[in-house]
Amino acid sequence: MTSHDLGAAPRMHTPLKLLGAVAHLVVLGFWGVFVFSVAATLLGLGLGGLLLAGLGAIVLFGLVYFLYAAAFLETARVEGLYGFGLTMLRPRRSPKRGFVGFLHTVWLQFIDGGMWRALAHLAIATLLGWVAFALAGLAVAGLTGAFAPLYMPDGNVSIGWFQFNALWAAIGGPLIALVALGLLLGIAMLHGVLARVIIAPMRETQLAAQARDASEQRQGAIRASEVERTRIERDLHDGVQPRLVSVGMTLGLAQQKIDSDPAAAKELIGEAHTSTKAAITELRQLARGIHASVLDDRGLDAALSAVASRSHIPVSLDVRMSGACGRDAEAAVYFAIAETLTNAAKHSRATDVRVTVRARPDGGLLWARVEDNGMGGAHVVPGGGLDGIQNRIAAIGGTSRIDSPVGGPTSLEVSVPCAS
């Protein structure tokens, strides 16, 4: 949680916050008119452009992000005034690629409920701002009327919608000012209540989303561990175990022939020795798939260089690290790239693979892309290598995207949060 628990309302009606709310509302009366005037203009131009030449789509896209910017500022204003503990609005992004992904991104932003709640609050605050501006002017006029006998002893004085002679203005002016200030105080309190009703629930939505993300990460971690366990069992059962059984049988035959046929026994022992070395190599590769010691010793760049050097397909490696991103993030990206290269070697018929890695710890992101020029058609199979990649990335709160049309190319992109 942040500074305030939503179960208990923050103190919205302190004198400083009420005074700040009045000041905000007076400014919002003009700011809101500007925002909605620009929005209406963009909407008219966009719809007209669609009918004329289709170019209005660009204006409508701009309208969506203009509304997002206005909603972001409104959310920041409310948070700065009341301190509900809100997380600022974030641009929505589509997992899809290309122009379809762009259109989907704009659509996701357009249907963002948080943005529309903030805009609805801005519209209401704009109306309240004009009321507050009128009440503030009435209060000033009333206080000024209290001194009417000094500057207009024989004339009539206008205070709002009322006309007084100088003597009655000195009496009625302060009363009108008092009523106006009371109404202004009520408007300020209403602004706080509406802000809590309309915008503060965004925090509850964000907490629910965080809970869903945490649940997905937990499920991803569970699935990743199951896939990894299955892979280890399969590699041991299908690779190392039969080889070690063969070594035992070969040594048994050598033992039987060592007296009667020493030459054949020697040949069998040599064969067992070769199989033993192959089993050791497989065990090392299996252990490397569980834990890459070079990652701890020399970092992600060196670990990926080692993987690339062992690949059966030529790999073009481009790693640019501006700092460490934390072991979990680097390990997830390392194993994702290693598994992708293994899959490419087995299934893609590719002749070239490009691996790009960018790390920006200051931005909190480690990003990688692997692309081959193979035949494409890769898809996620439960328990398979790509499924394991997705689960491992999801387990630490990252995202992954696989694009593999039939005929190629195949690309994998992963993004994981850095943790220093």
Considering the domain architecture, whether residues 147 and 286 belong to the same structural domain is answered as no
Considering the domain architecture, whether residues 33 and 142 belong to the same structural domain is answered as yes
| 184 and 133 Cβ atoms separated by less than 8 Å | no
| Dist CA 363 CA 418 (whole Å) | 8
Q: Which two tokens stand for residue 208?
A: 């629910």
Look up tokens 């007076």; give the residue: 26
Task: Please give the backbone phi and psi of residue 119, each rounded to the nearest 5 degrees, phi first.
Answer: -70, -40
DSSP state, residue 316: E
Of 367, 368, 364, nearest in space to 419 by CA: 364
Considering the domain architecture, whether residues 77 and 159 belong to the same structural domain is answered as yes
Considering the domain architecture, whether residues 268 and 358 belong to the same structural domain is answered as no
CA distances from 159 to 117, 167, 180, 406 (A): 38, 13, 11, 79
Tell me which of 266, 290, 314 is where a domain ends: 290
CA distances from 132 to 128, 189, 227, 236 (A): 6, 12, 63, 76
Considering the domain architecture, whether residues 286 and 301 belong to the same structural domain is answered as no
State how beta strands 315-321 and 353-360 pair: parallel
Task: Please give the backbone phi and psi of residue 164, each rounded to the nearest 5 degrees, phi first.
Answer: -130, 150
Q: Using one digit for the tens of pLDDT, what is the confidence trace for 104-116?
A: 888 888 888 888 9
CATH number at residue 395: 3.30.565.10
Specify the pLDDT at position 211: 59
Specify the pLDDT at position 273: 79
The counts of H helices and E strands in the chain are 13, 7
Considering the domain architecture, whether residues 269 and 349 belong to the same structural domain is answered as no
Look up tokens 């790693």; give the residue: 319
216 within domain boundaries: no
| Dist CA 110 CA 184 (whole Å) | 35
Specify the pLDDT at position 368: 87
| Dist CA 11 CA 417 (whole Å) | 35
Q: Which two tokens stand for residue 289?
A: 């798939």
179 within domain boundaries: yes
State how beta strands 353-360 and 365-372 pair: antiparallel
Specify the pLDDT at position 224: 55
Domain, as residue range, for 161: 1-199
Tell me which of 270, 290, 310 is where a domain ends: 290
Specify the pLDDT at position 342: 80
Specify the pLDDT at position 296: 65
* Cα-based torsion angle of the residue sequence 269, 274, 279, 284 in order, rounded to the nearest 10 degrees: 130
214 within domain boundaries: no
**Mean pLDDT, consecutive 10-residue segments, the chain of 420 residues?**
43 78 89 93 85 77 92 89 78 75 85 88 92 85 67 62 63 76 88 82 56 60 60 63 75 78 79 75 59 65 81 84 75 83 80 84 76 81 72 79 82 79
| 56 and 49 Cβ atoms separated by less than 8 Å | yes
213 within domain boundaries: no
Considering the domain architecture, whether residues 45 and 18 belong to the same structural domain is answered as yes
Considering the domain architecture, whether residues 242 and 327 belong to the same structural domain is answered as no
* Count of structural domains within the chain: 3
Specify the pLDDT at position 420: 46
219 within domain boundaries: no
206 within domain boundaries: no
CA distances from 56 to 33, 47, 243 (A): 23, 6, 68
Specify the pLDDT at position 165: 59
Considering the domain architecture, whether residues 283 and 302 belong to the same structural domain is answered as no
Considering the domain architecture, whether residues 16 and 155 belong to the same structural domain is answered as yes
Query: pTM of the predicted model, to two decimals?
Result: 0.52
Task: Please give the backbone phi and psi of residue 146, each rounded to the nearest 5 degrees, phi first.
Answer: -60, -20
| 119 and 109 Cβ atoms separated by less than 8 Å | no
Look up tokens 């409920």; give the residue: 113
278 within domain boundaries: yes
DSSP state, residue 88: P
Considering the domain architecture, whether residues 137 and 235 belong to the same structural domain is answered as no
Amino acid at 98: G
Amino acid at 393: I
Considering the domain architecture, whether residues 382 and 410 belong to the same structural domain is answered as yes
Of 365, 363, 311, nearest in space to 339 by CA: 311
Q: What is the CA radius of gyration of the chain?
A: 35
| Dist CA 91 CA 89 (whole Å) | 7
247-274 burial, b at 16+ Cβ within 10 Å, e below that, comes to: beebbeebeebeeeeeeebeebbebbee
Of 179, 186, 189, nearest in space to 159 by CA: 179
Ranges assigned E (strand) in 281-364? 315-321, 353-360
41 within domain boundaries: yes
